[in-house]
Homo-oligomer: A and B are copies of this chain.
Amino acid sequence: MLRLSTHEGTRISLAENLNAHYGGGEANVAISLANYGHEVAFASKVPANGLGEAVKRHLGRFGVDTRQLLVGGPRLGTYYMEAGVGERAASVIYDRAGSSFATMTDLEWDLPSLFAGVDILHLSGITAALSKEWQRLLLDLMKAAKEAEVKVSFDVNYRGLLWTQAEAGAFLKKALPYVDYCSAGNMDALYLLKVPAYEGQGTPQDELIYYYQQMQELFPNIQLFYSTKRQVKSASDNILTGTLYVDGEYYESPSHHINPIVDRVGGGDAFSGGVLHGLLSQKAPQELIDFATAASALKHTVHGDCNQFSATEVERFISAGSGKIIR
């Protein structure tokens, strides 16, 4: 997807110049993993024009394999973002209908070659929201992955502007039984999966653990749940904490105070990328969640949708104090 965004402090209706960033949830996760040294391929579909070429170049710039990137179809999905600042939130104009990817009706890849040598397949709930076809295709992909002994990672990523809670819930019921690693939080549990509302008197942490437990009971196949808690003080100032639920245990990262936020987009994907990196490199849970949250915090300090830091840089960021130069 192409994001066309204004410079901070300029309204879209007055902008004479827009920044062009390429991204999308799965692409951002792919780039994170490539930055951490993993071999990653990205499978999607882009049009046969300069914008499709730009997507390929963006991924190649970070070392993501693009041989499974299909070329064809009518257009590249785009959206316009008026950057938020202070009390004023960012605002978004979606223009993604009819994209080459959204209008796919078949899995155009050769699945055996797609899954050859692959450890993890990462998918997002936004894709399911694109069309009924994509809900079907996603399930097909998940099943094929399981058959090929590929782990399935899934980010619920619910967007209320794209589908209803009921639609999303119905899809999730069908999809989650195939999922191994799942990004989902208490809102997803309550509103999409319809688990009973927490009625305890506990802390917010108790409440979150409750929802993780409920989801775990519904989907015992899922080996790991994760999500972030984000306290939005303003569009420029957030406090971010990562949480993880694995083997019946709850883990929480230190909180990151992110101010100013340079670019909010992709913060969740950087978090998912960090979690998958932790899995692939067999980090202990606390280390995993600390890494993933730090990676997400770093993402907020750079322009663009994707994490641009190596594993070494993330680790050095964790060990250094906030904002101190070494020289």
Contact = CB atoms under 8 A, between A and B. Distances in A.
A260 B236 contact: yes
B16 A16 contact: yes
B54 A326 contact: no
Interface string A53-72: 11011101111001000000
Interface stretch (A113-121, A200-208, A227-235, A283-291): A227-235
B13 A323 contact: no
Contacts of A308: 11, 13-14
A256 B88 CA distance: 11
Contacts of A53: 12-13
Contact of A87 (B93, B161, B301): B301
B10 A302 contact: yes
A57 B61 CA distance: 5
Interface in A161-214: 161
A51 interface: yes
A144 interface: no
B10 A50 contact: no
Given A20-B16, A20-B17, A301-B86, A323 B97 contact: no
- Closest 3 A/B residue pairs (Cβ): A235-B323, A12-B50, A9-B262
26 contacts: A8-B262, A11-B308, A13-B50, A13-B57, A13-B308, A14-B57, A14-B61, A15-B54, A50-B82, A78-B95, A85-B262, A85-B301, A86-B260, A86-B261, A87-B256, A87-B257, A87-B258, A87-B317, A88-B323, A89-B326, A159-B327, A233-B323, A234-B259, A236-B259, A236-B323, A238-B323
Interface of A: 4, 8-21, 49-51, 53-54, 56-58, 60-63, 66, 74-75, 78, 80, 82, 84-93, 95, 97-98, 159-161, 232-238, 256-264, 297-298, 300-304, 308, 317, 320-327
